[in-house]
Structure 1
Amino acid sequence: MGILHSLRVVVWGQPAETKTERRLLVKIDFFVLTYVCLMYWVNYLDRSNLTNAYVSGARQDLGFKGTQLNQINTIFYGGYLLGQIPNNLILQKVPPRIWLPITCLAWGLLTLGTAFVQHPWQIMIIRFFQGFFEAACFVGVQWILGSWYKPEEIGKRTAIFTSSGLAGSMFSGLMQGAIYQSLDGRAGLAGWRWLFVIDFLITVPIAVYGLLCFPDTPSSTRARYLSHEERMLAVERLPEVTKERGVLGLGLIKRVVLSWHWWAFVLLWVACSNTEMYSSNGIMQLWLKSTRDYSVEHVNYIPTAVSGMGIVATLLLGWYSDWNPSRRWHVGILLSITAIISGALMLSAPTRAARFVALIMNGIQYAGQTVMFAWANDLIRGDDAKRSVVLASMNMFSAAVYLFWSLLFYNATQAPDWFQGDIAMMAMGGFLLLCTVGTFMLQKRQEKVEGRALGRSVSDVGVEKSETVDGHEKVHS
């Protein structure tokens, strides 16, 4: 029993202090974590399927030319960028249990529409609106996780959440390979078209599950499976929120823009997210296709190793960030180093094996989704509205950079070398190193200021508790 308990602590953290809190945490994990993971899994499934379709026949069937695939990805992130603020404002007023499943159903319907397109420009229109609705998922869920879980609990849960998206990418490749073998030509549809139909059929029940079972936030939940005592405990067990979510106005803008959190975490995530470029642009699929040495099935199967590496790195580094929350900056240093190494290997790969190593290693960069957002969640817990805007801004500005960064440095016409992209990868790795060190230094300064403020507060409390006894002042400790 002692060994099992120690193992449980290492893997999942210390158990809750009371039976009631342990029961509550099980329910939160089951209803909150399972839904957001399923939603993010299908989010990436519906997002990453285009590259798999492209290398499985869509390029020839639809007559793709030049950089049209990259243009579609850029348009997708344009919708994703423009959807950040509207979706965030909607979540300020509309319950997440309603809005998140609605957006999930919307992008599922758009995925279905992609199965019946006849020209690349039709995909461009669909992908723009798909990006707009998908914008609600990642940031909305990051805020949800920060609303339910303690600082020492959130890293592991965020790691599981982001890993579910990578599992969606992995599953999309495996599924496309299987569909190409078994369904190509069925009912008059090419194999790549069936991929979008099946993705839609998977998406719908997940959206329905969210509408029926998702519990909103601790302060607004009406979930029948949570008792009144558990609802109260869900609020009480978290750090006190001094600024509630939902209040919009000039005061919120000032609290955001005039704080170091907004500037530091936006720059940090811009740097970190754009070291994922080999992985997020499907560079391995495009490279494998360009060699003409691999079958359609292999071009879909082999890149799943990138997502597999991402899942392992995300879980391990998410665990590390919970084990020592004050040292989440270590992960930023590691990711800057792996970005520089993968870029250098791609730039002058001595063998084909070295290029495989570089591209698979780039999957490690996905771990930043877990740690950087957990870091921001922790440091801004006291201001719920500000936390929401900072998280949305991180994703919005990283998408803005992605719009032109992928088109300039990682487009399909640059295959199979991506020389400029390799240099850009190393440069972004160096920028990530600077941003990580800068954010850590600002965190330390904040902790010193809060420590001095706490000392003054304790001193004031001591004075207030003083009383006079026999004409002499007595101070209670």
Structure 2
Amino acid sequence: MVNAFTQYLRGEQNAPGERKLVQKLDFFILTFCCLMYFLNYLDRTNLNNAYVSGMKEDLDFHGNQLNQINTVFTVGYTIGQVPCNIALYYVKPRIFFPACMVVWAGLTMVTAAARHPGDIMAIRFFQAIFEASTFVGTHYILGSWYTGRELGKRSGIFTASGLAGTMIGGFIQTGIHSSMHGLSGLSGWRWLFIIDGIITLPVAVYGFLLFPDTPRNTKAPYLTVEEKALAISRVPEVSERTPISWSFLKHCFSTWYWYFFTVLWIIAGETESFSTNALLALYMKAHPTNEYTVSQLNNYPTGVAAVGIVSTLFWATLTDFMGGKRYLVGYWIGIVGVVCSALMLAYPNSTTVHFASYYISGSVYACQATFFAWANDVLRFEEDSLRAVVIASMNMGSNAINAWWSIVFYGANFAPYFTRGMWAMIAVSIAMAIWTALLVWVHVRTEKKRQLEDVAGVPDKAKDLGATGETVSHFDSKV
């Protein structure tokens, strides 16, 4: 049992047929989840692209109405987090994910018919509830199939696909604006939402037909009986408890996992504010002296997402290689946030400094993959339902704060300099480094206590291990 556990931690693929199994999982899980998240972000972030491409003028936006719409979206997104992950216990993922996609695709297309900012506000609220299934649901699924050494890279690839949606969305809007603006009497930004919705539907069909669900309930036709058994053996066996019960709620709120990881992502979510609030595009749109074309307004900010993709893949791969040291990203974020904000405060009239700082700030997107992989790693030996709720609560907490944070610190009416937001970024970046250190401390302390309890509970095994220098685990005592 000890060898099995250490093999899990190292992510070694030594069992017969394991490499082939992982290749199948990569193809069918990652292709669907990445396409789903790509389209999710494409639908979500194209509101900003539409805003700077004529929607603001066509619908007569005023003040910070764009931020208000984003806040309403955030409220709906927050509401949907935990219910969507709990729903995965009662509805098979291959049904639940595609169903949500069909609904949000329909709402995206309906956005093209909007006549007032209030119309978009109502549409985005319901759209957000169904889009909430994608991010936290996928991280739960990834943690159900992959070992600790495999997880970071896969989480990174998944997260990068969303950033690709952000980046490519600008180019798509540029192409649509130049080739379809005025077609059938519709503005280019309206065609953007119609096309986004249409291309989402085939991916939903693909997921319904071929997504493998989870190891213990999969009926995927491309997995053999032996591969299904191997998939179950690759992840720890944990106790099950229904997520809708008082005993589960008491257990959830009595652990440090829920509090520490939720606060971690609340802070981390606000360190992404420069990117998630599209500040570079708003900076360009409101610049007092420089004039930018529609193509430039859509294309230049894509560099932020490009940096985010590179940073995400780099840190996800590096932390896997280093044995899961996901916390390193927390310190990197702290440094980047303080330095970039300080530079923009010090040089408010330098366009070069602002562009460079916004691009470099895109690297903080790496926390999405690494921090959710970190939560999956730490909670691997706890109840499956606890892992699902903690992961969902992380995103729920972050979006609950972001619902008002973006208006207070990054409202469109604060463009182009966002001075208040720069000081807020310095504060949360420092908090990020401190909280990361605290989480590392409490996790190490918990693991030492767990190992001592396990050794005390199985003295014969502890004696044997003392001769070899290996460490017994919580997983061993259960198996």
TM-score, normalising length: structure 1: 0.92
Q: What corresponds to 2:318 in structure 1?
A: 320
Partner of 1:327, secondary structure, is coil
Q: What corresponds to 1:254 in structure 2?
A: 250
Q: What corresponds to 1:212 in structure 2?
A: 209
Structure 2 letter corresponding to 1:257: F
State the shift of 1:461 in Å.
5.0
Structure 2 letter corresponding to 1:356: F
Residue 129 (structure 2) pairs with residue 137 (structure 1): no
Residue 270 (structure 2) pairs with residue 274 (structure 1): yes
* Preserved CA contact (<8 Å) 1:93 1:246: no
Summarize the alignment of residues 186-335 of structure 1 with structure 2, pairs less than 5 Å apart: 186-241=183-238, 243-244=239-240, 246-291=242-287, 292-335=290-333
* Preserved CA contact (<8 Å) 2:152 2:316: yes
Q: What corresponds to 2:377 in structure 1?
A: 378
> 1:184-227, CA deviations, whole angstroms, 9 ceiling, x for partnerless residues?
11111111111101111111111111111101000000111111
Match of 1:46 among 43, 48, 53: 43
Distance of aligned partners of 1:293 and 1:434 in 2 relative to their CA distance in 1, 3 Å threshold: same
Summarize the alignment of residues 344-383 of structure 1 with structure 2, pairs less than 5 Å apart: 344-349=342-347, 351-382=350-381, 383=383
Distance 1:461 1:312 in 2: 44
Distance of aligned partners of 1:31 and 1:419 in 2 relative to their CA distance in 1, 3 Å threshold: same
TM-score, normalising length: structure 2: 0.92
Match of 1:35 among 29, 32, 36: 32
Structure 1 letter corresponding to 2:311: A
Match of 1:92 among 61, 69, 89: 89
Q: What corresponds to 1:456 in structure 2?
A: 456
Q: What corresponds to 1:159 in structure 2?
A: 156
State the shift of 1:27 in Å.
0.7
> 1:212-260, CA deviations, whole angstroms, 9 ceiling, x for partnerless residues?
110100000011111111101000011222x226453122112211111
Residue 391 (structure 2) pairs with residue 387 (structure 1): no
Distance 1:341 1:245 in 2: 45
Distance 1:389 1:130 in 2: 22
Structure 1 letter corresponding to 2:235: L
State the shift of 1:340 in Å.
1.2
Structure 1 letter corresponding to 2:265: W
Structure 1 letter corresponding to 2:285: K
* Preserved CA contact (<8 Å) 2:86 2:389: no
Distance 2:169 2:214 in 1: 31
Summarize the alignment of residues 389-468 of structure 1 with structure 2, pairs less than 5 Å apart: 389-459=389-459
State the shift of 1:362 in Å.
1.4
Distance of aligned partners of 1:215 and 1:75 in 2 relative to their CA distance in 1, 3 Å threshold: same
Summarize the alignment of residues 97-112 of structure 1 with structure 2, pairs less than 5 Å apart: 97-112=94-109
Identity %: 45
> 1:77-125, CA deviations, whole angstroms, 9 ceiling, x for partnerless residues?
0000111122122222111110011111111111101111111000000
Distance 1:296 1:132 in 2: 31
Unaligned stretches of 5+ in structure 1?
1-12, 465-477
> 1:25-80, CA deviations, whole angstroms, 9 ceiling, x for partnerless residues?
11100111111000000000000000000000000000001110000000000000
State the shift of 1:446 in Å.
1.1
Distance 1:263 1:462 in 2: 32
Distance 2:426 2:463 in 1: 56
Distance 2:265 2:409 in 1: 19
Structure 2 letter corresponding to 1:113: V
Unaligned stretches of 5+ in structure 2?
1-9, 465-479
Q: What corresponds to 1:342 in structure 2?
A: 340
State the shift of 1:357 in Å.
1.1
State the shift of 1:161 in Å.
0.2
Structure of greater Rg: 1
* Preserved CA contact (<8 Å) 1:81 1:396: yes
State the shift of 1:14 in Å.
7.1
State the shift of 1:447 in Å.
1.5
Partner of 1:63, secondary structure, is coil
Distance 1:394 1:432 in 2: 14
State the shift of 1:182 in Å.
0.9
Residue 108 (structure 2) pairs with residue 116 (structure 1): no
Structure 1 letter corresponding to 2:151: I
Q: What corresponds to 1:170 in structure 2?
A: 167
Partner of 1:93, secondary structure, is coil
Partner of 1:59, secondary structure, is helix
* Preserved CA contact (<8 Å) 2:330 2:433: yes
Structure 2 letter corresponding to 1:342: C
State the shift of 1:460 in Å.
5.0
Residue 69 (structure 2) pairs with residue 69 (structure 1): no
Q: What corresponds to 1:8 in structure 2?
A: none
State the shift of 1:432 in Å.
0.7
Distance of aligned partners of 1:222 and 1:318 in 2 relative to their CA distance in 1, 3 Å threshold: same
> 1:382-433, CA deviations, whole angstroms, 9 ceiling, x for partnerless residues?
2111000100110001000000100100011001111100000111101111
User: For this pair of structures, how many residues does the alignment match?
Assistant: 451
Runs ≥4 residues deviating over 3 A: 460-464
